[in-house]
Amino acid sequence: MAETLFDKIWDAHVVADLGGGVDLLHVDRHLLHDLGGGKALSETRERGLRVRNPELSFATADHVVSSAPGRTGGVHDWAQVLVESLRLETRRAGVRLFDVGGDAQGIVHVIAPELGITQPGTLVVCGDSHTCTNGALGALGFGIGASEIVHVLATQTIEQRRPKTMRARFEGAQPKGVYAKDMILALIGKVGMAGGVGHAVEYGGGAVRALGIEARMTLCNLSIELGAKIGMVAPDETTYAYLEGRRFAPKGPLWDAALAWWKSLPSDPAAKFDREVEIDVARLAPQITWGTSPEDAIAIDAQIPAAKPEALEYMGLAAGRPIAGTRIDRVFIGSCTNSRLSDLRIAADVARGRKVAPHVRAWVVPGSMAVKHAAEAEGLHEVFRDAGFEWREPGCSLCVGANGELVEPEARCVSTSNRNFVGRQGPRARTHLASPATAAACALAGEIADVRELLA
């Protein structure tokens, strides 16, 4: 029978059929971070349980660490406690930690693919809803809660109800100024933030095939903002070229064996999905959100719609006016959505030789130490600094504010992150989601701006 990519990976991981559509699944890769990792490990220990497969768990510090140059951990005492707990508990359990100060530290969903920990066909979980990002490599990744983390540590398995499947096809060439972020925001705008609830989404179509792995990660990252906790792209030559030679990727004969198996994973041509949607990429303009949900996405040259009065009030916007020209205070280029080398290159190309508006505070927070070093080797940090951006240290930073880095009340921030929820970037902070190119253009203009006007 014709099967989807999702079906093949799910079926390969069933340890036991628990009945009623629920399976006990094997977890190949478990990612831990500072927000809950230390606590989950200590709880496991205190309950008298052993970490069943410490070699399949990988930890880093990203959520609460400072992004300030010269940082050594958290800014505040409480953050330092979490980082110290992660250090102590990973050491006790024998779990690898990519620590602050090391050359592999970074946002968990940036480093797992970058180190080759995430591979096609692997089942990846993490106590973070953006674990769907890992699906860009043809893995089955999803976020779990604190209790489930302990379950995975103790049993290396997780109980899950099989979701339905949905395919989102992107066709057509990307117009100038339109990137993966714009593609996925347009999809969420079309189907709504509950449109993918209960589904595993496969992104396909010519426009997805044309994307690099990092851009595919941006696409998969926002699956959860579609309501889907799983998003994935079938592995192909782009995937294999990305993985080959990475630290934890298979080598030698194992690489050849892995490659043969990976090539069997893509959905069969006759495979049926429970739901299909299609987006015509050629017709897209750069997207930006106006409200307090990722589904509130519109074209950069559109007018603010007369909907959701509470969201408009929170955002300090008036319906019927163009979104472009709205004065901004902050710009954040970073997060597990858009902090990889290709994102920074795109933003730097916009910023090169130009200046950030004097009233705007603009940050660039690379996703990992590897991204930071690669960007510095290309001189991107100088491009940003010369333009007036702050060049900072890797972590989640302003996306979630868990480290105390916040946008001020009623300040307006154009952000390359994934959530514009009420209070997400700080109490009463106003967030507009956009691509790195659009965010850079807004920083220069000091207002919401159409990046196409800056692109040759």
Partner 1 sequence: MEKFTVLQAIAAALPTPNIDTDMIIRVERCVRTPRGEMGRWAFEMARYRSDGSENPDFPLNRESARGARILVAAENFGCGSSREMAVWAIAGMGYRCVIAPSFGDIFYNNCFQNGVLAIRLPQAVVDGLLRAVGSAAAPVRITVDLPSQTLTAANGEVHRFDIDRLRKKALLEGLDAIGVTLTREPDIAAWQARDRVRRPWVWS
Nearer to partner 1 (CB atom), residue 23 or residue 114: 23
Distance separating alpha carbons of residues 73 and 89, to the nearest angstrom: 16
**Which letter does DSSP use for residue 329 in this model?**
S
Shortest CB 385 distance to partner 1, Å: 29
Q: Which of 27, 36, 28, 76 is nearest to 60 (CA)?
A: 36
* In the complex, minimum distance from the CB of residue 421 to partner 1, in angstroms, rounded to a whole number: 5
CB of 78 to partner 1, least distance (A): 5
The Cα–Cα gap between 268 and 153 comes to 34
Q: Of 104 and 259, which has the nearer Cβ to partner 1?
A: 259
Which pairs with CB-CB distance under 8 Å and at least 24 residues apart come from 47-54?
Answer: 47/150, 47/154, 49/150, 49/153, 49/154, 50/154, 51/93, 51/94, 51/95, 51/153, 51/154, 52/153, 52/154, 52/155, 52/156, 53/156, 54/93, 54/94, 54/95
Q: 330 Cβ partners below 8 Å, 6+ apart?
A: 360, 361, 362, 363, 398, 407, 411, 412, 413, 414, 415
Task: Quote the least distance from Cβ 387 to partner 1, whole Å.
Answer: 30
Q: Which of 132, 440 has the CB closer to partner 1? A: 132
Residue 342 beta carbon to partner 1: minimum distance, rounded to whole angstroms: 26
Write down the least CB distance from residue 352 to partner 1, Å.
Answer: 34
Nearer to partner 1, 229 or 330 (CB): 229
Among residues 63 and 361, whose Cβ is nearest to partner 1? 63
Question: In the complex with partner 1, which residue's Cβ is closer, 119 or 338?
Answer: 119
Among 34, 35, 54, residue whose Cα is nearest residue 44: 54
- What b-and-e string marks burial along 333-358, b requiring 16 or more CB atoms within 10 Å of the CB? bbbbbbbbbbbbbbbbbbbeebebbe
Minimum separation from the CB atom of position 36 to partner 1 (A) = 8
Q: Which residues bind partner 1 (CB under 8 A)?
A: 15-16, 18-22, 24, 26, 28, 35, 47, 49, 52, 64, 78-79, 82, 119, 121-122, 127-129, 142-148, 150-151, 154-157, 159-161, 163, 193-194, 197-198, 224-225, 227-229, 250, 254-255, 257-258, 261, 293, 400-402, 404, 419, 421-424, 427
Kindly tell me which of 228 and 346 has the beta carbon lying closer to partner 1: 228
